[in-house]
A and B are shown apart, each in its own frame.
Chain A
Amino acid sequence: MTTTTPPVLRPPSPPGPIRWLKKNLFSSWYNALLTIAATVFLFFLLRGLLRWVLFQANWEPVANSLKLFAVGQYPLAELWRIGVMLLVVSFLFGLSWRVWGGTMGTFALAVAAGLGLLALLPIGLDKLPLTARLWLLANPLLTGGGFLVGRFIRRPRWVLLGWGLSFVLLIVLLSGIPGASWLPRVESSLWGGLLLTFLLAIVGIVASFPFGVLLALGRRSSLPVLKVFCALFIELVRGVLLVTILFMFSIVLPLFLPEQVRIDRVVRAMLAMTVFASAYMAENVRGGLQAIPRGQVEAAKALGLSGFHVTLLIVLPQALRMVIPTIVGQFIALFMDTTLAYIVGLTELLTIGRAVLQSRKEWLLLDMEVFVFIAALFWVFTYAMSYASRRLEKALGVGQR
């Protein structure tokens, strides 16, 4: 005679926040003590911080120089181009939100909210004129518009193309067309602030990734010339300072070029950052490549796939998934390293900060405010990158498959 035992039910997890607090923060006397000490510490810290930010700090240098921080010395009359680009970007974010959802939505909303809040900033109209505020307010509207229009997009590839084209548009708009009276040239030496930081960082990041992958593959290749060249390049670039490479591209490169060929200063800095980052990227990717078990390659080859297909379809997808945290760390470091561009005469965000401090006698002592502001700006964007990378890892199933 067989009897089936009734299924044993799992005891219910402790419900409610009170039980959670009891279990995690106050489980024993020393835990409770630590909790209280930490809470007191955090309370005083936050109170002091908020008090300083809201009441004691003199935000004058920041409030008065918003335009400088944003775009450097870009001529006031041509700021509409930046305005247009922001609108295009907001629209694209709206489209991307509709097409891809998830993380894109978070970013779209963050950008819309950020620009919207900026428009409503409680500072004088002289520092942030009404027209500028209206331009800024139009952005959340365009994000919403993009979201609605996104319904009709059938292939995500078009949105990617849109992003690519928007970058081209950015360069064309920013630099202007020589000879056109409606879009006069704006010298790149006038580009500055957050605009320049973004430009250098985005180009550096986007360009160094494929180059890094190619270098890593080249270093592992069986062709001796390619292998040696890649290894030499990587070791050479990794062994010198970014400052040195910036100098090399800014000062030494023009000496080797013929008289007529003049490469723009900003482009030279972009080249330097790309070259620098590619070498580090290559080693990160190589680490991932080495971690792929040999059996994967053997199985792929046994199926009759060519070496190129094995690398593209089997090895790289697995290797790149593995090194996402490292690569994103690299990107974040590159974003911070754009501050070194001042050495070659470019006025990126940090340089503007220092210039603002020195522009008026009474602001010289307000460095705390300016640097906290710049630090907060950097933090916002690097956290955004971190967040995006975590979501990407989740979407790709890293660590689960």
Chain B
Amino acid sequence: MVDTPNTEPLEAEAMIVCRDVHKWFDDFHVLRGVSLTVNRREVVVVCGPSGSGKSTLIRTINRLEEHQRGQIIVDGIELTHDIRNIEAIRREVGMVFQQFNLFPHLTALQNIALAPLWARKWPKARAEEVATQLLERVGIPEQAHKYPGQLSGGQQQRVAIARALAMQPKIMLFDEPTSALDPEMIKEVLDVMRELALSGMTMIVVTHEMGFAREAADRIVFFAEGNIVEENTPAEFFAHPCEERTKLFLSQILMH
């Protein structure tokens, strides 16, 4: 159960394996031979300058973008052109977007219950019960029957997280989840993400929130110009960055 604290010994089981992944947008070489492994229960924060390809990388993991060279293996399933593999992977991988992307014609509850109802074919009562529990977990049970247009940004993003969790995924991908929020709402979303990390979810988070990275991440990956420049534990990363590029990035981002 994902909502009880982790009491089992850490297994170094690879949930996501990227081997030499290349991607081109027309002629632009956006991912240049990325190799990354994420283990079960690990929280990996990916940071880096804009346009470095970090969002593209996590979008290739659930096939929202297609990689042209290299291998991506998610929970033992290889990501190929086979639509069955893709759909199987998408059921195990949840994603939270910068722009929330909630379905505006459905209430918060319906947004969350939709996927289990249709993709996992649960009965309506069960789907709605799970949806209600998830709304409580993210802290907004009273907003169940509101439409996304009636919710604040922070509430919308929390509903989006609940929606992704409804499919009971093994991995959660976050694509700059707080970049479209104002400072007061950032905290409420980060709290939910922290709780999720503590409960043992495997997470990859693309973000600029260094505070969150320091507290919740097992590993920080610094991404620039299409590839990983440096990766380390948060303590080491902030205290003793190795590469020049990393030092430059840190000096700019930690000035605020």
Residues of A within 8 A of B (CB): 293, 295-296, 298-306, 309, 313-314, 317-318, 321, 396-397, 400-401
The reply to whether A304 and B119 contact each other, CB–CB distance below 8 Å, is yes
**Further contacts, 11 of them, CB under 8 A, given A295-B99, A299-B101, A309-B118:** A296-B101, A296-B103, A302-B64, A304-B87, A304-B91, A305-B118, A305-B119, A317-B105, A318-B103, A401-B104, A401-B148
A397 smallest CB distance to B (angstroms): 7
Which of chain B's residues has its CB closest to A300's CB?
A: B103
- CA distance in complex: A317, B62 (Å): 25
- CA distance in complex: A304, B163 (Å): 12
The reply to whether B101 and A298 contact each other, CB–CB distance below 8 Å, is yes
- CA distance in complex: A397, B150 (Å): 12
- CA distance in complex: A396, B105 (Å): 8
Residues on B with beta carbons closer than 8 Å to the beta carbon of A321: 105
The reply to whether A318 and B87 contact each other, CB–CB distance below 8 Å, is no
The reply to whether A303 and B167 contact each other, CB–CB distance below 8 Å, is yes
Residues of B within 8 A of A (CB): 62, 64, 87, 90-91, 93-95, 97, 99, 101-105, 114-115, 118-119, 147-149, 160, 163-164, 167
The reply to whether A313 and B114 contact each other, CB–CB distance below 8 Å, is yes
B168 smallest CB distance to A (angstroms): 11
With contacts A296-B101, A302-B90 taken as known, whether A400 is within 8 angstroms of B118 at the C-beta atoms is no
Residues on B with beta carbons closer than 8 Å to the beta carbon of A313: 114, 118
A311 smallest CB distance to B (angstroms): 12
The reply to whether B115 and A303 contact each other, CB–CB distance below 8 Å, is yes
The reply to whether B105 and A301 contact each other, CB–CB distance below 8 Å, is no
- CA distance in complex: A53, B7 (Å): 88
- CA distance in complex: A234, B153 (Å): 42
A121 smallest CB distance to B (angstroms): 46
From A304, A397, A401, give the contact of B167 (CB < 8 A). A304
B229 smallest CB distance to A (angstroms): 27
**Could you say which of B97, B99, B104, B147 has the most chain A C-beta atoms within 10 Å of its C-beta?**
B104
Which of chain B's residues has its CB closest to A314's CB?
A: B103
B179 smallest CB distance to A (angstroms): 14
B219 smallest CB distance to A (angstroms): 23
With contacts A295-B99, A305-B119, A400-B149 taken as known, whether A318 is within 8 angstroms of B105 at the C-beta atoms is yes
- CA distance in complex: A308, B26 (Å): 29
The reply to whether B119 and A301 contact each other, CB–CB distance below 8 Å, is no
- CA distance in complex: A168, B71 (Å): 58
The reply to whether B104 and A305 contact each other, CB–CB distance below 8 Å, is no
- CA distance in complex: A396, B114 (Å): 18
- CA distance in complex: A314, B99 (Å): 17
A392 smallest CB distance to B (angstroms): 14
Residues on B with beta carbons closer than 8 Å to the beta carbon of A301: 64, 90
B28 smallest CB distance to A (angstroms): 19
Residues on B with beta carbons closer than 8 Å to the beta carbon of A295: 97, 99, 101
A154 smallest CB distance to B (angstroms): 18
Residues on A with beta carbons closer than 8 Å to the beta carbon of B97: 295, 298-299
13 contacts between A and B (CB under 8 A): A299-B95, A302-B93, A302-B95, A303-B90, A303-B115, A305-B114, A309-B119, A318-B105, A321-B105, A396-B105, A397-B105, A400-B149, A401-B149
A297 smallest CB distance to B (angstroms): 9
B198 smallest CB distance to A (angstroms): 24
- CA distance in complex: A303, B91 (Å): 6
- CA distance in complex: A314, B160 (Å): 15
- CA distance in complex: A300, B87 (Å): 11
Which of chain B's residues has its CB closest to A298's CB?
A: B64
B163 smallest CB distance to A (angstroms): 7
The reply to whether B105 and A306 contact each other, CB–CB distance below 8 Å, is no
- CA distance in complex: A293, B95 (Å): 17
Q: Top 5 A-B pairs ranked by shortest CB distance?
A: A299-B101, A304-B91, A303-B115, A295-B101, A302-B95
Which of chain A's residues has its CB closest to B147's CB?
A: A401
